[in-house]
Amino acid sequence: MKKVSTAVAGQIRNISGQRLTIGLDLGDRTSYYSVLDESGQTVLEQRVSTTAKALREVFGGMPGSRIALETGMHSPWVSRLLSGLGHEVIVAHARNVRLIGESRKKDDRLDAQTLARLARIDPELLCPVRHRSQKAQADLTVIRARAGLVRARTALVNTARGLAKSYGERLRGCNVRNMNVEKAEGLSPELQTALEPLLAASAALSEQIAEYNERIEQMAQQSYPQVALLKQVKGVGTLIALTFLLTLEDAHRFQKSRDVGCYLGLQPGRRNSGQSESQMHISKEGDPYLRTLLVQGAQHILGPFGVDCDLRRWGLKLAERGGKSGKKRAIIAVARKLAVLLHHLWVSGEVYEPLHNSNRTAIAAAA
């Protein structure tokens, strides 16, 4: 990619006294930006390498402008870089900006123009999102890296089990965490030879996952004392608590704790038309990994090892009257309430009482 030409630099100087609106369509290698002046006219369109040096060279010479870009792989660090250069950065929710995502004319230049024009008219049309800080992203990367190893280990073990079953035999044991070469003992010699490398790789991944677990525990103890507040809820461990804190990052970004369930995509959608009110699935917006962890926490709370608490009692009653899919709905509902509860504990700093509502009801009935 060539450096910014003299002609482009001259154009930037000519519009330096105006309030500019810029649409930036990010690509993996190169990006396209479109600059609008105060009257809405396109004054500059250009490609730029998606590197910190190139972006700083282009946008560092511009006056403080409003820059709109879509969420994506590069949007976190690019938004931080542009904000550091003094620009007002709007990160558009790519999933909700249908004017771009569902356009029949898909082109980088047109996408950049559309972003700029929407940002100029009303930034709320872009459904702006806020990226987390660099430190939070770095700490969350440790958790995401661990999740990647867990998925790889599960895939290896499932492959080994499937190959053994197709041969008419079975591996000993079913715990993924303890799967190693010894589990192949008792299999036919040719099958042992074929599966030993898979099982050895799975054991090696388990060791690396254990190292990640230690790092996550140390991180929580040293930098995030709020984790202890969230771990008061039985079924919520360090991994769930720390992922919850890092994903939301700022507890006060929500006016009500109930808003957290919607933010994480655990709230059922609504479609009211006339006299009909159809029941819809949850939106599944927000962070999918945190949503998965909350569902796992809900499964523990409702499972055989869950301790008696208001959340468990409420979920079990919901499961009883829900028909065939009652248990699944109860798990999602408990996950949503769990997210609300964790946010409330985070904001208030209160001591968690597992049977707070039940005790209050009993006292009221006795009176």
| pLDDT at 276 (0 to 100) | 55
Q: 30-36 and 88-92: which strand pairing?
A: unpaired
Residues contacting 356, CB < 8 A, separation 6+: 310
Mean local confidence (pLDDT), 48-59: 94
| pLDDT at 277 (0 to 100) | 57
| pLDDT at 367 (0 to 100) | 57
Q: Is the pLDDT of residue 338 over 90?
A: yes
| Bigger pLDDT: 94 vs 345 | 345
DSSP conformation letters of 158-180? HHHHHHHHHTT---S---GGG--
pTM of the model: 0.83
First-to-last C-alpha distance (Å) of the chain: 78
Q: Which residue from 335, 124, 345, 132 is spatially nearest to 250, judged by alpha carbons?
A: 132
Angle at 364 between CA 361 and CA 367, to 5 degrees: 150
Q: Is the pLDDT of residue 301 over 80?
A: yes
Which one-letter DSSP state was computed for residue 320? H
| pLDDT at 213 (0 to 100) | 97
| pLDDT at 176 (0 to 100) | 83
What are residue 271's DSSP bridge partners? 278
| pLDDT at 294 (0 to 100) | 96
| pLDDT at 345 (0 to 100) | 95
Whole-angstrom distance, CA of residue 253 vs CA of residue 189: 60
| CA torsion through residues 186, 189, 195, 197, sign | positive
| CA torsion through residues 197, 201, 204, 210, sign | negative
Whole-angstrom distance, CA of residue 205 vs CA of residue 202: 5
pLDDT digits (tens, 9 = 90+) for 65-79: 999 999 999 999 999
| pLDDT at 103 (0 to 100) | 62
Q: Where are the beta strands (DSSP E) in 37-113?
A: 42-49, 66-70, 88-92
pLDDT digits (tens, 9 = 90+) for 202-223: 999 999 999 999 999 999 999 9
Does residue 309 contact residue 354 with C-beta atoms inside 8 Å?
yes
- pLDDT, the chain, mean: 87
What are residue 128's DSSP bridge partners? 92
Does residue 328 contact residue 282 with C-beta atoms inside 8 Å?
no
| pLDDT at 238 (0 to 100) | 97
In a 3-state reduction of DSSP, which class is residue 138? helix
Task: Please tell me the total number of residues recorded for the chain in this structure.
Answer: 367
Residue type at 273 in one-letter notation: S
Which one-letter DSSP state was computed for residue 89? E
pLDDT digits (tens, 9 = 90+) for 139-185: 999 999 999 999 999 999 999 999 999 999 988 877 888 888 888 88
Q: Is the pLDDT of residue 7 over 60?
A: no
Residues contacting 340, CB < 8 A, separation 6+: 257, 258, 260, 261
| pLDDT at 227 (0 to 100) | 96
Confidence of residue 2 (pLDDT cuts 50, 70, 90): very low
pLDDT above 90 covers a percentage of the chain that reads: 61
The alpha-carbon radius of gyration of the chain (Å, integer) is: 26
Does residue 301 contact residue 342 with C-beta atoms inside 8 Å?
no
When mean pLDDT is compared across 10-24, 263-277, 299-313, the lowest value belongs to 263-277
| pLDDT at 1 (0 to 100) | 44
Which one-letter DSSP state was computed for residue 225? T
DSSP alpha helix (H) spans, 122-168: 134-166
Mean local confidence (pLDDT), 291-303: 95
pLDDT digits (tens, 9 = 90+) for 224-278: 999 999 999 999 999 999 999 999 999 998 989 999 988 898 887 665 555 555 5
Q: Is the pLDDT of residue 16 over 90?
A: no
What are residue 346's DSSP bridge partners? none
